[in-house]
Amino acid sequence: DQQVKQNSPSLSVQEGRISILNCDYTNSMFDYFLWYKKYPAEGPTFLISISSIKDKNEDGRFTVFLNKSAKHLSLHIVPSQPGDSAVYFCATQSEAGGTSYGKLTFGQGTILTVHP
């Protein structure tokens, strides 16, 4: 029972265009959502996050959108650059407290390739 799903294993985009990565979740208790980026031979690094009280968060070229009713999360990268080529993981957390201490539940990842 996979609670966080990234249904596109890979995405290929031309440099300068928009990259849209999608993520769906099933557990309505999740209230904090994150994107991590992973280059080969490196660990995942935090990219951007959004709380459930918001529907959009922006950081430079990166914007995360949250649709709580649809339990859907997306990451937009505009404009895409070759250096953005990496694996992108979405992750969720449930409200901390008790046994729910902020555990990260990850999706399987989407490989983004940005062509020059």
Using CB under 8 A, list all residues that contact another protein. Answer: 2, 4, 9, 31-32, 36, 41-46, 49, 51, 89, 93-96, 101-109
Q: Residue 28 in contact with residue 77, Cβ under 8 Å?
A: no
Closer residue to another protein (CB): 81 or 105: 105
Minimum CB separation from another protein for residue 81, in Å? 23
Minimum CB separation from another protein for residue 107, in Å? 6
41 burial via Cβ count (<10 Å: 0-12, 13-18, 19+): exposed
Closer residue to another protein (CB): 49 or 74: 49
Minimum CB separation from another protein for residue 17, in Å? 26
Dist. CA 56–CA 104, nearest whole Å: 20
Minimum CB separation from another protein for residue 12, in Å? 18
Helix (H, G, I), strand (E, B) or coil at 104: coil
Dist. CA 46–CA 91, nearest whole Å: 10
Closer residue to another protein (CB): 4 or 77: 4
Closer residue to another protein (CB): 80 or 94: 94
Nearest to 87 by CA among 106, 73, 103, 72: 106
